[in-house]
Amino acid sequence: MGMTITEKILAKSAGKAKVEPGQNVWLNVDVLMTHDVCGPPTIDIWKREFGDRAKIWDKQKLVIFPDHYIFTQNPQANRNVDILRQFASEYNLPNYYDVGTDRYKGVCHIALAEEGYNIPGTVLFGTDSHSCTSGAFGMFSTGVGNTDAAFILGTGKIWEKVPESLKFTFDGELPNYLTAKDLILQVLGDITTDGGTYRALEFNGDAVYSMEMDERMTLTNMAIEAGAMNGIIAADSVTDKYVKERSQKEYEIFQSDNDAVYRSEFHYDTSKMEPLVAKPHSPDNKDTVRNVEGTKLTKCYIGSCTGGKLSDFKSAAKFLFGNEVNVPTFVVPASTYVAQQLEIETISGVSLKSIFENAGCVIAESSCAACLGGPMDTVGRAIDGEVIISTTNRNFPGRMGSKKSEVYLASPLTVAVSALTGVITDPRNFL
């Protein structure tokens, strides 16, 4: 009986020839990532538990990105960043990306990819539920709480239960009105918000391998919305090229065996799929854009680790080029690198940044911003009973701010055309 890619990577990390779903194993961690919300309590627990003997297991493997509550006057939020800064200078940490310096990167999951920390075949843990994003690089990555992170910080080890795998195969070409976001909203609608609990979601098929890394990350990012432990896409030449441009590290590429065992398998023909939304108030509340077309909007939002990558802005800009938005529209590049690229990438000689500015969008600085509501002064935060369409990943009550607001999750194409009309609109109307 063969093994899945997830099983192979966990076996290697645990120093075993073979592992099976349900088995608890102790893993050697390759990267521990934390940020401004969970970093300070993690450091507290590490100091409390290890006391005078507290030692960081491997400074090269600890990566810290302040990204959540950054551009705010909120004193507790700023105190958290101060704690990280002090910790980084006290221990002389090489991989701390401080706010207010040119090292500042923005949203952690995207910065991990850009800075060359995502390496096929490795194991990454992060104190953030969307740490599953890195699985797009053919690696195992998942989120943990502060206690587990503190344990890793001191030992480099952590236990994990080997997950069963679910396999999602997307065959066919991806039509120009669909993006990875539509695909993952379909999966969430089909398996619901606990369909992946303690499981791995493995993505496969021509449509997936035709995607660039940005788009693949949208699929793995939202694996946690099904409750999954990890999302994973085996590395190919596209992955290899992306990684080699950013890292000198040697790595091993793993593939699932042909006789690997899956709990269940799902097949989709992308040529028959439609643009989708997740209606308020759950990411699995799937509907077609056609069915909710005409819903009046008060705000549009393009940003976050799910929908604030360069590919997302390229998709949106195609529709916004030469047009003006009809409702307030916020553009929040996930990372400072993406923000720079908006000035460099062009359509017919016009930079993406100018396209968004000319269309009347508000362009904010890179951070998590209103994806999770944030302090009251956060740019794009949901107010009162607003109706918002957003490229983010969660629409639980109050997630983007006000508990009274209603949030629809959709692809950057659907959000862009809806921004132009002021009501939810199918991108096929504009093709």
List residues binding ligand SF4 (CB under 6 A). Answer: 68, 107, 109, 128, 130, 304-305, 368, 371-372, 393
Q: Are strands 406-410 and 164-171 parallel, antiparallel or unpaired?
A: unpaired
Using CB atoms within 10 Å of the CB of residue 375, give its burial: 0 to 12 exposed, 13 to 18 middle, 19+ buried.
middle
Nearer to ligand SF4, 221 or 329 (CB): 221
Beta carbon nearer to ligand SF4, 228 or 368:
368
- C-beta of 66 vs 120, nearer to another protein: 66
Phi, psi of 390 (to 5 degrees): -145, 150
Question: Of these partners, ligand SF4, another protein, none, which one is at the site of residue 193 (CB under 5 to 8 Å by kind)?
Answer: another protein
Residue 194 binds which entry of another protein, ligand SF4, none, CB below 5-8 Å type-dependent: another protein
Between 186 and 393, whose beta carbon lies closer to ligand SF4?
393
Residues 409/388, Cβ–Cβ less than 8 Å: no
Which residue's CB is nearer to another protein, number 275 or number 373?
A: 373
Nearer to another protein (CB atom), residue 107 or residue 229: 229
Q: Which of 72, 414 has the CB closer to another protein?
A: 72
Report how far residue 280's alpha carbon sits from residue 301's, in angstroms, rounded to the nearest whole number: 15
C-beta of 95: minimal distance to ligand SF4 in Å?
18
User: What Å distances lie between residue 230 and 94, 125, 130, CA to CA?
Assistant: 27, 10, 9
Residues 120-179 touching another protein, rule: CB under 8 A, are 127-129, 143-148, 151, 154-155, 157, 159, 161
Give the closest residue to 262 by CA, choosing from 197, 165, 195, 162: 165
Taking CB under 8 A as the binding criterion, the range among 101-109, 192-200, 242-250, 271-279 that sits at the site for another protein is 192-200
Locate 419 and state its tokens: 């921004």
Torsion sign over Cα 223, 225, 226, 227: positive
- Is 372 an interacting residue with respect to another protein (CB under 8 A)? yes
Tokens found for residue 286:
């799937």
Burial class (CB in 10 A: 0-12, 13-18, 19+), 23: middle
**Under rule CB under 8 A, residue 49 binds another protein:** yes
Q: 3-class DSSP state for residue 249?
A: coil
Contact between 297 and 326 under an 8 Å Cβ cutoff? The reply is no
User: Phi/psi of residue 376, each to 5°?
Assistant: -55, -30
Residue 146 or 311: which CB sits closer to another protein? 146
* Least separation in angstroms between CB 134 and ligand SF4: 12
For the window 75-94, what string marks contact with another protein as x by the rule CB under 8 A?
A: -x------------------
DSSP letters, 3-50, are --HHHHHHHHHHT-S---TT-EEEEE-SEEEEETTTHHHHHHHHHHHH
CB of 402 to another protein, least distance (A): 12
Asked if 290 is part of the footprint of another protein (rule: CB under 8 A), the reply reads: no
Q: Beta strand pairing status for 406-410 and 276-278? A: antiparallel
Provide the 10 A C-beta neighbour count for residue 75.
9
**Minimum distance from residue 389 beta carbon to ligand SF4 (Å):** 16
304 binds, among another protein, ligand SF4, none (CB under 5 to 8 A by kind): ligand SF4
Which of 398, 422, 423, 428 binds another protein (CB under 8 A)? It is 398
Which of 18, 24, 58, 344 is in the footprint of another protein by CB under 8 A?
24
The smaller minimum CB distance to another protein, of residues 199 and 353, is found at 199
Give all strands (DSSP E) within 14-153, no chain letters. Answer: 24-28, 31-35, 62-65, 123-126, 140-143
Nearest distance from residue 339's CB to another protein, in Å? 26
The answer to whether 277 touches 248, Cβ cutoff 8 Å, is no
| Interface positions, 237-266, toward another protein (CB under 8 A) | none
218 binds, among another protein, ligand SF4, none (CB under 5 to 8 A by kind): none
Q: Which listed option, another protein, ligand SF4, none, makes contact with residue 368 (CB within 5 to 8 Å by class)?
A: ligand SF4
- Which among ligand SF4, another protein, none contacts residue 305 (Cβ within 5 to 8 A by kind)? ligand SF4
What's the Rg (C-alpha) of the chain? 21
Note whether 57 binds another protein by CB under 8 A. no
DSSP line for 325-358: -SS-EEEE-SBHHHHHHHHH-EETTEEHHHHHHH
Binding residues for another protein, rule CB under 8 A, total 37
Site for another protein, rule CB under 8 A: 24, 37-38, 41, 44, 48-50, 76, 127-129, 143-148, 151, 154-155, 157, 159, 161, 193-194, 197-198, 227, 229, 372-373, 394, 396-399
